[in-house]
Amino acid sequence: MPAENVTFMPRRELLTFEEIASIVRVFAGCGVTQIRLTGGEPLVREQLDRLVAMLKAVDGIDEIAMTTNAVLLAKHATKLRQAGLDRINISLDALSKETFFKITRRDVLGQVLEGIEGAIAAGFRSIRLNAVAIANLSETEIIPLARFALEKQLELRFIEFMPLDSDRNWDDSQVLSGPKILQIIEAEFGPTVAAPRSNKSQPAVDFLYAAGNGRLGLINPVSSPFCGDCNRLRLTAEGKIRNCLFSVEEWDLRAIVRSELASDPQALGRGLQDTIRQCVFEKKAGHLIGQEAFVRPDRSMYQIGG
């Protein structure tokens, strides 16, 4: 759940589009083929479609996706599609205004629904709905969300609540587990069957409704960690890379792109690549949520991106 009072970072501390593109070119040279723009909220960044077009032009990048709260999506969906954005994940934690407000602390459900319609109208072939599941809060939302996704022919994913809330009040009693969600779904819609994994590193376990009319995903980082298959790195808005959502370490790429190496493209590339490799090599075996050794990161989810 987001903090009520958010202080925005000064613009000079954020990476420019050109700096982001230069870093992505190095990532692509290391074998990265997919980019996801997340937040916070990516659409608060002006001219995001220009960044999408710049990243789409990078050799080796096959796909660009975005995760958004969709509040501003209706206005920008067509431009993003034309710029080359391939996929959109939309956060939709509830369909009742009361529960939506409790989770997000914002009275913007109408705008989110308009954003979903805008993405559909813009012609995106892949639109996924992401719902964070919180015990004693989300149970009554599961069936309405599933029915909504089926009616709109959209994929729905439920995500277990993780200890990245800004209030730092998380405990394991708030986790509404993936297996429990699946039980609720099947009681209403009938049995499901496990879907083939198209990508070993994907975080979700996917299911197909036996009736053949939809797809459901469960992301279970707490009840069933998938750290061994994770291949994601996160680049923050101010140029730090993280090898895990729960990392307590960051590696500073902004300092490199703004150093004297910037005048020498080859030296800059080597410097960035060395730091990226160090970050990857120091990735821990797991996040240790629920264990005594777990150390909670300083950043909340809205400061990292999903």
In whole angstroms, give the CA distance from residue 57 to residue 62: 10
Q: Is 110's pLDDT higher than 90?
A: yes
Q: Which residue has the higher pLDDT, 288 or 229?
A: 229
Confidence of residue 2 (pLDDT cuts 50, 70, 90): very low
Is residue 166 very low, low, confident or very high in pLDDT (cuts 50, 70, 90)? very low
User: Chain-wide mean pLDDT for the chain?
Assistant: 87
Whole-number pLDDT of residue 39: 79
Per-residue model confidence (pLDDT) at position 282: 87
| Amino acid occupying residue 177 | S
Q: What is the structure's pLDDT at 232? A: 86
From CA 129, how far away is CA 131, in angstroms rounded?
7
The closest of 222, 227, 138 to 172, measured between CA atoms, is 222
Report the range out of 55-59, 167-171, 219-223, 299-303 with the highest average pLDDT: 55-59
Q: Over 70: is that where the pLDDT of 289 sits?
A: no
- Give the pairing type, strands 63-68 and 192-194: unpaired
pLDDT, tens digit, for every residue of 202-225? Answer: 778 899 998 778 999 998 877 766
What residues have CB less than 8 Å from 206, skipping those under 6 apart? Answer: 194, 195, 197, 215, 216, 217, 218
Q: Answer with the residue of higher pLDDT: 130 or 298.
A: 130
Average confidence (pLDDT) over 231-236: 89
Per residue in 20-34, pLDDT (tens digit) is: 999 999 999 999 999
pLDDT at 155 exceeding the cut of 90: yes
pLDDT over 70 for what percent of the chain? Answer: 84
The answer to whether 61 and 31 have CB atoms below 8 angstroms apart is: no
pTM value?
A: 0.87
Binned at pLDDT 50, 70 and 90, residue 1 comes out as very low
Q: Mean pLDDT across the stretch 109-130?
A: 97
* Start-to-end CA span in the chain (Å): 13
**Cα 289 to the chain's mean position, in Å?**
19
pLDDT for 161 equals 82
pLDDT at 8: 66
For the segment 254-283, what is each residue's pLDDT rounded down to a tens digit? 999 999 998 999 999 999 999 999 999 988
pLDDT score recorded for residue 220: 81
3-state secondary structure the chain: CCCCCCCCCCHHHCCCHHHHHHHHHHHHHCCCCEEEECCCCHHHCCCHHHHHHHHHCCCCCCEEEEEECCCCHHHHHHHHHHHCCCEEEEECCCCCHHHHHHHHCCCCHHHHHHHHHHHHHHCCCEEEEEEEEECCCCHHHHHHHHHHHHHHCCEEEEEECCCCCCCCCCCHHHECCHHHHHHHHHHHHCCEEECCCCCCCCCCEEEEECCCCCEEEEECCCCCCCHHHCCCCEECCCCEEECCCCCCCCEECHHHHCCHHHHCHHHHHHHHHHHHHHHHHCCCCCCCCCCCCCCCCCCCHHHHCC
Res. 195: pLDDT tops 80: yes
Query: What does the pLDDT average to over 157-186?
Result: 77
What's the pLDDT score for residue 202? 76
